């Protein structure tokens, strides 16, 4: 199982690829385009390239959430674009809330960015990157664990 984990955002979208217990690659998609739909199209284009380049079999992504204190409409559009792409290309997609993957990887659903980064350091010592990449690694780890569990139940 080769899984692509995605921490969605319209400005800095983290991604990570796991193959079993190995962290294959991770980075951040930075969009500097002013026109919003061009940002979303760029993110989808990079995801498509990653899926092809790394022979991804599954995708795990943070679910868009609603927060009255923040404008989450942009996040919802990015997640919807990812869902649409996966459906069109018949790729398995699992969506997880921040609380789900944070609890799974860092031990508590309200883990801070630093706590997530520390937890990832335990899984993959010496890993360097931006905060969005660490979140993407955590999302991929959680997704991988959930997929393994489903396989065991079958």
Write out pLDDT tens, residues 2-44. 999 999 988 889 999 999 989 999 999 988 767 778 889 999 9
Alpha-carbon distance of 59 to 2, in angstroms, equals: 9
Q: Give me the domain span that covers residue 134.
A: 2-153
Residue 91: the pLDDT is 92
CATH of the domain at 80: 3.30.420.10
**Residue 70 pLDDT class (50, 70, 90 cuts):** low
Residue 68: the pLDDT is 63
Count how many domains the chain has. Answer: 1
Smallest CA-to-CA distance from 137 within 16, 2, 13 is with: 16
Tell me the CA distances in angstroms from 44 to 32, 55, 57, 73, one per residue in order.
Answer: 15, 16, 17, 17
Alpha-carbon distance of 41 to 88, in angstroms, equals: 15
Tokens 């508590």 belong to residue: 108
The pLDDT of residue 55 is above 90? yes
User: What is the pTM for the complete model shown?
Assistant: 0.93
């Amino acid at each position: 199982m080769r899984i692509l984990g995605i921490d969605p955002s319209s400005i800095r979208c983290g991604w990570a690829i796991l193959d079993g217990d190995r962290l294959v690659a991770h980075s951040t998609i930075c969009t500097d385009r002013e026109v919003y739909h061009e940002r979303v199209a760029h993110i989808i284009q990079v995801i498509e390239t990653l899926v092809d380049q790394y022979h991804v079999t599954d995708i795990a992504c943070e679910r868009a959430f609603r927060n009255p204190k923040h404008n989450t409409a942009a996040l919802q559009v990015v997640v919807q674009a990812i869902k649409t792409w996966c459906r069109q290309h018949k790729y398995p997609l699992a969506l997880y809330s921040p609380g789900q993957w944070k609890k799974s990887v860092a031990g508590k659903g309200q883990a801070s960015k630093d706590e997530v980064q520390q937890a990832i350091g335990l899984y993959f010592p010496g890993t360097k990157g931006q905060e969005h990449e660490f979140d993407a690694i955590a999302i991929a780890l959680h997704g991988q664990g959930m997929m393994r569990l489903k396989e065991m139940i079958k």
